[in-house]
């Protein structure tokens, strides 16, 4: 598809995305159409509208559910994004304007999810991305999105806590720390799924240990309220040592 399109053509390309007309700017609608058309995915419904992003449900041609995450360019906190991006060696020579930063931020989440998923971390499988639009596996079923951990009371919190710590370790083994992990960024659907990995930092990043400690504190705060015995410092020391061993190899 040619990049330069007449206004009338753009309207035609976006006509089957009525569920989001009025939510996104025209460029985002065009990106959505191009990406969904490329991957043969249909947009089904708007399922969550947050401060900086919107989540749509979609279906592949085989009928499999996917989640379509769209970063709202004008609403994103690009100054905070920039702070994280400048410490990431994977992204260099980034233009310091809002759309360029959001575009790299979306690519960053795709890369982080790929690293995590390939190393066995429980997280949505990344499928594709383009500019400010990311497609991942849908966690849940046709009737509902999986609930966040903060919104449920787990039947076996002690076992769940162990699984989450195991996945924190897997994430470090993948070369990442989550950077924004809490009961708000873990979905539960038979098992916990880490989501929102856009803040994820490489373990060589100077911010990595600080972010790791914050992640552990957040997780421990949730489980402590459920009566689970936690030891933030012990968990931190174990993962800190693992990071040091991996970084010095």
Long-range contacts of 240-247 (CB under 8 A, 24+ apart): 240/209, 240/212, 242/169, 242/172, 242/173, 243/172, 243/177, 243/203, 243/208, 243/209, 243/212, 246/172, 246/173, 246/175, 246/203, 247/203, 247/204
Catalytic residue from among 88, 180, 215, 220: 180
pLDDT tens-place string over residues 64-93: 999 999 988 776 776 778 777 877 778 777
- pTM for the full predicted model: 0.88
Catalytic residue from among 88, 196, 215, 220: 196
Q: What is the pLDDT of residue 12?
A: 40
Alpha-carbon distance 68 to 57, whole Å? 6
Low-confidence residues of the chain: pLDDT under 50:
1-15
Q: What is the pLDDT of residue 144?
A: 84
Q: What is the pLDDT of residue 84?
A: 78
Structural domains in the chain, sorted by start: 17-144 (3.30.200.20), 146-247 (1.10.510.10)
pLDDT tens-place string over residues 207-249: 899 999 999 999 999 999 999 999 999 999 999 999 999 998 7
- Is 137 one of the annotated active-site residues of the chain? no
- Is 128 one of the annotated active-site residues of the chain? no
Q: What is the pLDDT of residue 21?
A: 57
Q: What are the tokens at 67?
A: 């989640």
Q: What is the pLDDT of residue 22?
A: 56
Q: What is the pLDDT of residue 30?
A: 87
């Amino acid at each position: 598809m040619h990049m330069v399109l007449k206004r009338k053509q753009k309207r035609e390309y976006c006509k089957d995305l009525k569920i989001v007309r009025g939510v996104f700017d025209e460029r985002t609608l065009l990106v959505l159409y191009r990406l969904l058309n490329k991957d043969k995915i249909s947009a089904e419904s708007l399922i969550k509208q947050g401060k900086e992003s919107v989540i749509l449900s979609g279906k592949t041609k085989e009928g499999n559910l996917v989640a379509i995450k769209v970063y709202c360019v004008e609403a994103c906190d690009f100054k905070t994004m920039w702070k994280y991006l400048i410490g990431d060696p994977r992204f260099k020579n980034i233009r310091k304007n809002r759309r360029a930063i959001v575009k790299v931020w979306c690519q960053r989440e795709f890369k982080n999810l790929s690293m995590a998923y390939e190393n066995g971390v429980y997280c949505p499988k990344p499928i594709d991305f383009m500019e400010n639009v990311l497609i991942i596996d849908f966690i849940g079923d046709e009737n509902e999105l999986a609930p966040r951990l903060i919104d449920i009371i787990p039947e076996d919190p002690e076992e769940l806590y162990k699984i989450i710590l195991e996945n924190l370790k897997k994430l470090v083994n993948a070369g990442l720390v989550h950077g924004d992990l809490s009961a708000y960024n873990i979905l539960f659907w038979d098992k916990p799924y880490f989501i929102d990995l856009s803040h994820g930092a490489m373990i060589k990043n100077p911010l990595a240990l600080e972010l790791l400690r914050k992640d552990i504190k957040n997780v421990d705060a949730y489980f402590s309220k459920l009566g689970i015995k936690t030891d933030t410092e012990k968990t931190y020391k174990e993962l800190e040592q693992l990071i040091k061993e991996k970084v010095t190899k």
